[in-house]
Amino acid sequence: MATEDTSASENPPIDPPLSPPSTSDPEEPRIDPAPGDEKDAKDADGRDSSSQATADVLSVEVGLDQGKREAPEDGGEGNGCRRCSCKKSRCLKLYCACFAGGTYCSESCGCQLCFNNPTYGETVHSTRKDIWLRKGCSFPLKANETSEAASGSKKDTSKSPSSSQRKKGCNCKKTSCLKKYCDCFQGGIGCSLLCKCEDCQNIFGRKVGGFLEGQRNLPSIGWNDDDYSDDEEDDYTIAARSPFHQSPFSRESSFHQANPDVKADMMNGQIYWQLSPLKAQPWHRVKRPNEDSVADISHKRHLKNEDKYTISRCIEVMSGIAELSQEEKSLAPDVFVDPHNREIFLSLSGDVRSMWLRRKLEQLS
DNA sequence: GAGTTTGAAACT
DNA sequence: CAGTTTCAAACTC
């Protein structure tokens, strides 16, 4: 840790290579480990993957640590985007939350020897490409953004190690998916059939054997996913209605949101969740999609939207948004007169609702 | 803050 | 593909 830090500071950054060496450059020079850095040199080290080779090469040629940063002051949760604190991976491996999330490290990261920044954009890109090729198409091969930029435009992708993980689910064995070691739990979403966790107790929806509990469990073959939009939930739900929203793992969707009707709390090391009594609903019988014609489904969807996105429902949800002032809450019903606004409002995730509502209120005024 | 535990990534 | 090692984050003391 401090060893690499030291070596980095003792070797002030020099101009980065205009064109970073190929990730498979056989002529790569070896690192001369700084005193006390043998271990790092070795395990950074006994590995000869192309990505590691890239990092090693560059760590020789440049002083690294470009624009180095202080350790995260807020534990890394700053603007909602987790920062990394990588010491050995050069932020060029999926261990790095920023790299894994497809973003560049930022000033608020606490990482050392960081290559995951625009200065080494090509290196980052080629390394990402290597990993992508190695792992197949499950890795997001995309242009990096800064963590700040990314966090402003998407739902904190850095909070999950990688998109490949998103497609694989978790593999928890000891924590029962009740701690933040579990990617599903950390993301506030339930485990899915893709997860290989053991003794899953994920409060956001657990996997029990081959089934999902507390979330919808839909077969994916031969069923049009569109048919399982919330609109048809009542018709085709085969699992209990859940107080929690579906894990994106479960439906291969990138969308998830916190359910405002559910409160989870930590007490004495235990997690408790409470569902508003008004929201609890019984199990629903399954009805296969072919029991209704497409026209019927369309018509039912329309009718369902009519009574699903009611003004009263919107007001109920809005009342639970603490950050809205009394004045804003008194004006908001005007926004909900429009059925489209009602649908949008109820479809938005909790943290965005207030922002959206305020904007609509401004438009009205 | 240091040490331990954990699960994912990387590697063999 | 399974087992092992390495890594960084979460957690505990």
Confidence (pLDDT) at A300: 53
Q: Which of A98, A151, A140 is nearest to A120 (CA)?
A: A98
Measured in whole angstroms, the distance separating CA A84 from the mean position of its chain's CA atoms is 14
The residue from A106, A139, A158 where one domain ends is A158
Per-10-residue mean pLDDT of chain A, 365 residues long, equals 34 33 33 35 36 36 36 37 75 83 80 82 81 60 44 38 51 82 79 78 72 48 34 32 38 37 41 39 36 47 60 81 84 83 80 84 81
Would residue A280 count as lying in a domain?
no
Q: Which nucleotides of strand C lie within 7 A of protein CB?
A: 5-12
A55 & A105 share domain: yes
Residue A93, phi then psi, degrees to nearest 5: -135, 170
Q: How far is the CA of A64 from the C1' of B1 (A)?
A: 27
Using the CA of A109, give the nucleotide whose C1' is nearest. C8
Would residue A27 count as lying in a domain?
yes
A114 & A206 share domain: no
A7 & A153 share domain: yes
The residue from A95, A127, A158 where one domain ends is A158
Would residue A35 count as lying in a domain?
yes
Q: Which of A277, A273, A272, A286 is nearest to A245 (CA)?
A: A273
Q: Which nucleotides of strand B lie within 7 A of protein CB?
A: 5-12
Using the CA of A47, give the nucleotide whose C1' is nearest. B11
A34 & A141 share domain: yes
A151 & A55 share domain: yes
Using the CA of A93, give the nucleotide whose C1' is nearest. B9
A216 & A100 share domain: no
A13 & A152 share domain: yes
A59 & A146 share domain: yes
A150 & A200 share domain: no
Q: How far is the CA of A303 from the C1' of B1 (A)?
A: 60
The residue from A232, A252, A275 where one domain ends is A275
Would residue A297 count as lying in a domain?
no
Q: How far is the CA of A127 from the C1' of B4 (A)?
A: 32
Residue ranges near strand C (C-beta within 7 Å): A 40, 42-46, 75-76, 82-89, 93, 95-97, 179-181, 186, 269
Give the SS3 label for residue A91.
coil
How many folded domains does chain A comprise?
3
**CB A177 within 8 Å of CB A187:** no
Nearest protein residue, CA measured to C1' of C6: A43
Q: How far is the CA of A170 from the C1' of B8 (A)?
A: 9
* Paired tokens of A318: 């809005």
Q: How far is the CA of A181 from the C1' of B7 (A)?
A: 6
A8 & A109 share domain: yes
* Paired tokens of A243: 């107080």
CB-based contacts of A21: which residues, under 8 Å, 6+ apart?
A28, A54, A57, A58, A61
Would residue A295 count as lying in a domain?
no
Give the SS3 label for residue A240.
coil
Would residue A125 count as lying in a domain?
yes
Q: Which residues pair with A104 in a beta bridge?
A: A146
Across chain A, how many H-helices and E-strands are there? 15, 6
Q: How many C-beta atoms lie closer than 10 Å to residue A119's C-beta?
A: 18
Confidence (pLDDT) at A45: 35
Residue ranges near strand B (C-beta within 7 Å): A 46-49, 51-52, 93-95, 100, 131, 135, 161-162, 164-165, 168, 170-175, 179, 181-183
Would residue A285 count as lying in a domain?
no
Please give the residue range of the domain that contains residue A34: 2-158
Q: Which of A121, A107, A50, A53 is nearest to A76 (CA)?
A: A107
Would residue A46 count as lying in a domain?
yes
A42 & A133 share domain: yes
pTM of the model: 0.46
Q: How far is the CA of A338 from the C1' of C9 (A)?
A: 46
A77 & A125 share domain: yes
